[in-house]
């Protein structure tokens, strides 16, 4: 499982010109699922991200987690995080999990993040989404489990 975690002041997901998710301070999490991933992987990634200390404290140091700042999260499924660009100029996505495996694991990830105490919204699996990210910092963390 791979994630691009972006600290945001605002995040939004639009599908077919309709806003389906919108948050203020928090995280936009672009989540890729590999064929080897299991529910335990999704749960562990959610715990790690909920506790990730990437928000600033009173001294301006990154010491606070999403839970500490009572931030929100948007989870966006993104199979392109498994792009293989080693050969040629057209990426291959054969390393990404098939939709029947990936979709339930994205849901388990979002549910696990919510179980940690995070207000969670989601994109729409398999849809063409417009993702608005007002990256704060910028702070962008790459994670893999």
- 8 Å CB contact between 46 and 113: yes
Active-site pick, 6, 14, 55, 79:
79
- The number of beta carbons lying within 10 Å of the beta carbon of residue 24 is 11
78 is catalytic: yes
Q: What's the distance, CA 134 to chain centroid?
A: 14
80 is catalytic: yes
* Torsion angles phi and psi, residue 78, rounded to 5: -145, 90
Active-site pick, 6, 12, 78, 116:
78
Spatial CB neighbours of 117, under 8 Å, sequence gap ≥ 6? 50, 67
Give the closest residue to 28 by CA, choosing from 117, 99, 113, 96: 113
Q: What amino acid positions are annotated as catalytic residues? A: 78-80
């Amino acid at each position: 499982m791979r994630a691009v975690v972006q600290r945001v002041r605002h995040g939004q997901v639009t599908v077919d010109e309709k806003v389906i998710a919108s948050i203020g301070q928090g995280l936009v999490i672009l989540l890729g699922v590999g064929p080897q991933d299991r529910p335990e992987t999704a749960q562990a990634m959610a715990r790690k991200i909920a506790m990730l200390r990437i928000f600033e404290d009173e001294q301006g140091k990154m010491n606070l987690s999403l839970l500490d700042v009572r931030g929100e999260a948007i989870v966006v499924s993104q199979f392109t995080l498994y792009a293989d660009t080693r050969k040629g100029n057209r990426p291959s996505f054969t390393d990404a999990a098939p939709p029947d495996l990936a979709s339930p694991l994205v849901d388990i990830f979002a549910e696990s993040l919510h179980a940690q105490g995070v207000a969670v919204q989601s994109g729409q699996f398999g849809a063409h989404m417009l993702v608005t990210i007002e990256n704060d910092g910028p702070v962008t963390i790459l994670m893999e489990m």
